[in-house]
Chains A and B, each alone.
Chain A
Amino acid sequence: MILLIQYTLVFTSVLMLVALGGCFSEHSGVINIGLEGIMVFGALGGALVMSSLPAGSSAFIIVLLSILAAMVMGIIYSLLLAVASINFKADQTLVGTAMNLLGTAGATVIVKAINTAANPNNPSATVQYISARKAFLLVNGYEFNWFMPLALCLLILAYVILYKTRFGLRLMSCGEHPQAAASVGINVYKMRYAGVLISGLLGGLGGLVYITAGVSEWKFENGVAGFGFLALAVMIFGGWKPFRIALAALLFGFFRALSNVYTGFDLLSRLNLPSTIYNMLPYIISLIVLIFFSKNSAAPKAEGIPYDQGSR
């Protein structure tokens, strides 16, 4: 039971962080399908820092540096989306898809290159961070880590920024009606850049949280197994609103955690369902959720439409 709660909280933090990232990007008017790729690069940044820090580093340094690395990598990677969709008015779905493919391929190439440079007989795409990962744990022996309080803080911060500050309200106006926003002197390009880069920051952090969830090494060939897309479903289910996103993430996180730990429950293991059922569950649930929540979509009105100063 305690295991289920642990994993639920871990996966909830991941989904919430990434979905909040998507929320910022979409409120500024840019659809971010590329969250999956952003997560992979964030995870890569964090993992490389964790594995390369000397063994005796203090826990605080490890936590701080790997979080920073994940955020910076996420931001850098999200620039690919920002430049293409804001400056060059590219098709945002296409760019996002390319970023997802590039994320896994690029991370695999980078990790393999590092691994083979260290040892030519080791052409694997795995990064290990056994000792560094312990620094994240709040209570020894349990999977409660620093990311959970951090995710909670970021949730509140996201709400405050979006709804209580001038910046957030301006950002959202660019996703609803960019021409109207521009007419009162808001720089739509800057706001959209801010939205996409914040989604890069949160997505990158989410990637780091995901790869430290109960494992001490990560095979980058696998990417992040569709978590970026689950986060998109969480965002839609949450109606693009931070606190509802948190609740949605809790629901999805629970079902995702179930697939990790269902063998520990007498009732569930006695049902003798194949493990693939549990693997499928989060995706099936999100499809069902989408069926009921897409009809009256609360999506930002101008999302996906490139902003052109000339069109009013």
Chain B
Amino acid sequence: MRKGNSILRKPAVQTLLSSLLCILLGLLVGFIALLIINPSGAVEAILDIIKNFWNYSKRATQLKNLGNTLVKTAPLLMCSLSVLFAYKVGLFNIGAAGQYVAGAGACIFCAVGLGWHWLPCMIASILAGALVGAISGLLKATRNVNEVISCIMLNWISLYLVNTLLSKVKNPTSPYTYNVAKQMVIENGASTTVAHPEALLPQLGINTLFNNNKYVGLAIPLAILLAVGIWVLLNKTRLGYELRATGLNKHAAKYCGMQDKANIVLTMAIAGGLAGIGASMLYLTGFEEWSVTQSSVPGMGFNGIAAAFLGGLHPIGTIFSSFFIQHITDGGAQLNKQVYPSEISGLISSLIIYFCAFVLFFKLTLNRRLDRKAERLQAIAQKEGGKA
């Protein structure tokens, strides 16, 4: 039977449509929640979330806030690439959160405690994340431990380990560590700091585009470059082919002579390294410090799951979806806290993940409908042909 060549048949179009549908549904439910909390300002509130930095009237402030969103988009993009990369090999990397935490601990400690330059700090982050990821991979490959459970356990273990490690470089007057722009030195038993700007990522002049937002710099182009790199690695290299084959059918891959166990460990190490470098992209800008008393795993890794699926599990798609997720997360902070809780944006992004789970069903239904329509048209055409 001849398939209809409707534009809706194209996988890319279907992915884009279903992602947009997920966003719309997520926003709709978020809007309903706002309506229930306080109907009078709900329309304004949802627009505030969607607009984020456009809420400011001055162009300079807009640019500065767009810069802030981008600073946090880079680590989110790395986390979502981490989730995506593992998913392509058939592994669900819910541990991106813990690998991110390990990366954060490594780079902050190396910068503040040891006074390293930014590049070795970043490499330390990659290695720390890769190590945590590789543990999950190793357990999966050799001991058949479900990677979801081991990742979750490692999330908590990494959090407490990093809290212990970073309390060594803590500011004694607050629960936070020192900023990475400073190096801690011990003088007469008391800790003081000296300026240490070498630990900050270079700005490369990009900051001037965003009204001299000093946090904007190398991280953003590097993140985009890595996204393209992951696409090339997965689709254009032998290693990528092997990894995807292992993901599709472990046994078949093994039968073809591929090292299925080594591939699983390697995949998780790469995924962990991606999440780890993500942490260094945020903390080495000096944008924020680590609170050593935090008792929940930072949401960056979990938002990475949302961004990966919203981006249609395509590295280039995740660039846009990461920006969108970060955009509405920052948008939540624009709300009037006396009326609406800022967690509404967390609610919306978790709803988006929930709706992403229906994407497969959506595509299936769409294809069936198109098939039926094509059949009907063919039947009509045949009938008319018979008459003539």
Assembly CA distance A232 to B147 (angstroms): 13
30 A-B pairs in the complex with CB atoms less than 8 angstroms apart: A99-B354, A101-B306, A101-B353, A108-B341, A109-B343, A109-B347, A116-B337, A116-B341, A120-B339, A123-B338, A125-B343, A221-B343, A226-B155, A232-B149, A232-B152, A233-B153, A277-B160, A280-B156, A280-B157, A283-B156, A284-B153, A286-B153, A287-B139, A287-B150, A287-B157, A290-B145, A290-B153, A291-B145, A292-B143, A294-B143
A95 with B354: in contact, given A102-B347, A295-B144 (CB under 8 Å)?
yes
Q: Is the CB of B347 within 8 A of A106?
A: yes
B215 at the interface (CB under 8 A from A): no
Q: How close is A100's CB to chain B, nearest CB, in angstroms?
A: 8
Report how many residues on chain A are interfacial, defined by Cβ distance under 8 Å.
52
Q: How close is B137's CB to chain A, nearest CB, in angstroms?
A: 13
Q: How close is B291's CB to chain A, nearest CB, in angstroms?
A: 13
A274 at the interface (CB under 8 A from B): yes
B148 at the interface (CB under 8 A from A): yes
- Binary contact track A104-143/B, C-beta < 8 Å → 1, others 0: 1110110011001100110101000000000000000000
Q: How close is A284's CB to chain B, nearest CB, in angstroms?
A: 6
Q: Is the CB of B347 within 8 A of A93?
A: no
Q: DSSP class of A's interface residues: helix, strand, loop or mixed? A: helix
* Chain A residues, CB < 8 A from B309: 94
* Chain B residues, CB < 8 A from A276: 160-161, 163-164
A98 at the interface (CB under 8 A from B): yes
Report the nearest A residue to B339, measured CB to CB.
A116
Q: Is the CB of B358 within 8 A of A90?
A: yes
Task: Give the 3 A-B residue pairs with the shortest CB-CB distance, closest first.
Answer: A112-B341, A101-B350, A90-B357
* Chain A residues, CB < 8 A from B161: 276, 280
Q: Is the CB of A93 within 8 A of B144?
A: no
Q: How close is B378's CB to chain A, nearest CB, in angstroms?
A: 24
Assembly CA distance A112 to B160 (angstroms): 28
A263 at the interface (CB under 8 A from B): no
Assembly CA distance A233 to B338 (angstroms): 40
Taking Cβ atoms with an 8 Å cutoff, the residues of A that contact B are 33, 80, 84, 88-91, 93-95, 97-99, 101-102, 104-106, 108-109, 112-113, 116-117, 120-121, 123, 125, 221-223, 225-226, 229, 232-233, 236, 274, 276-277, 279-280, 283-284, 286-287, 290-292, 294-295, 297
Report how many residues on chain B are interfacial, defined by Cβ distance under 8 Å.
50
A123 with B354: in contact, given A105-B346, A109-B344, A229-B152 (CB under 8 Å)?
no
Q: How close is B199's CB to chain A, nearest CB, in angstroms?
A: 25
Report the nearest B residue to A33, measured CB to CB.
B148
Report the nearest A residue to B143, measured CB to CB.
A291
- Of residues B153, B156, B305, which shows the largest number of chain A Cβ atoms within 10 Å of its Cβ? B153
* Chain B residues, CB < 8 A from A116: 337-339, 341
Q: Is the CB of B358 within 8 A of A88?
A: yes
B351 at the interface (CB under 8 A from A): yes
Q: Is the CB of A80 within 8 A of B354?
A: yes
Q: Is the CB of B347 within 8 A of A279?
A: no
Q: Is the CB of B295 within 8 A of A222?
A: yes
Assembly CA distance A91 to B90 (angstroms): 12
Report the nearest A residue to B136, measured CB to CB.
A287
Q: Is the CB of B343 within 8 A of A108?
A: yes
Report the nearest A residue to B299, measured CB to CB.
A101
Assembly CA distance A84 to B22 (angstroms): 14
* Chain B residues, CB < 8 A from A113: 36-37, 340-341
Q: How close is B338's CB to chain A, nearest CB, in angstroms?
A: 4
Report the nearest A residue to B355, measured CB to CB.
A98
Partner of B357, one of A98, A222, A279, A287: A98
Q: DSSP class of B's interface residues: helix, strand, loop or mixed? A: helix
Assembly CA distance A221 to B296 (angstroms): 9
Q: How close is B294's CB to chain A, nearest CB, in angstroms?
A: 10
Q: How close is A14's CB to chain B, nearest CB, in angstroms?
A: 16
Q: Is the CB of B139 within 8 A of A97?
A: no
Q: How close is A149's CB to chain B, nearest CB, in angstroms?
A: 30
B356 at the interface (CB under 8 A from A): yes
Q: Is the CB of A225 within 8 A of B139?
A: no
B279 at the interface (CB under 8 A from A): no
Q: How close is B118's CB to chain A, nearest CB, in angstroms?
A: 28
Partner of B354, one of A33, A98, A225, A279: A98
Partner of B156, one of A89, A104, A226, A236: A226
Partner of A287, one of B153, B341, B347, B354: B153
Assembly CA distance A90 to B309 (angstroms): 13
Q: How close is A67's CB to chain B, nearest CB, in angstroms?
A: 26
Q: Is the CB of A98 within 8 A of B341?
A: no
A93 with B148: in contact, given A121-B338, A223-B296 (CB under 8 Å)?
yes
* Chain A residues, CB < 8 A from B339: 116, 120
Report the nearest A residue to B359, measured CB to CB.
A90
Q: How close is B152's CB to chain A, nearest CB, in angstroms?
A: 4
- Binary contact track B109-150/A, C-beta < 8 Å → 1, others 0: 000000000000000000000000000000100011110111
B85 at the interface (CB under 8 A from A): no
Q: Is the CB of A95 within 8 A of B164?
A: no
Q: How close is B24's CB to chain A, nearest CB, in angstroms?
A: 17
B154 at the interface (CB under 8 A from A): yes
Report the nearest B residue to A104, measured CB to CB.
B346
* Chain A residues, CB < 8 A from B252: none
Q: How close is A117's CB to chain B, nearest CB, in angstroms?
A: 8
Assembly CA distance A93 to B308 (angstroms): 14
Assembly CA distance A125 to B341 (angstroms): 9
Q: How close is B15's CB to chain A, nearest CB, in angstroms?
A: 15
Q: How close is B63's CB to chain A, nearest CB, in angstroms?
A: 29
* Chain A residues, CB < 8 A from B92: 93-94
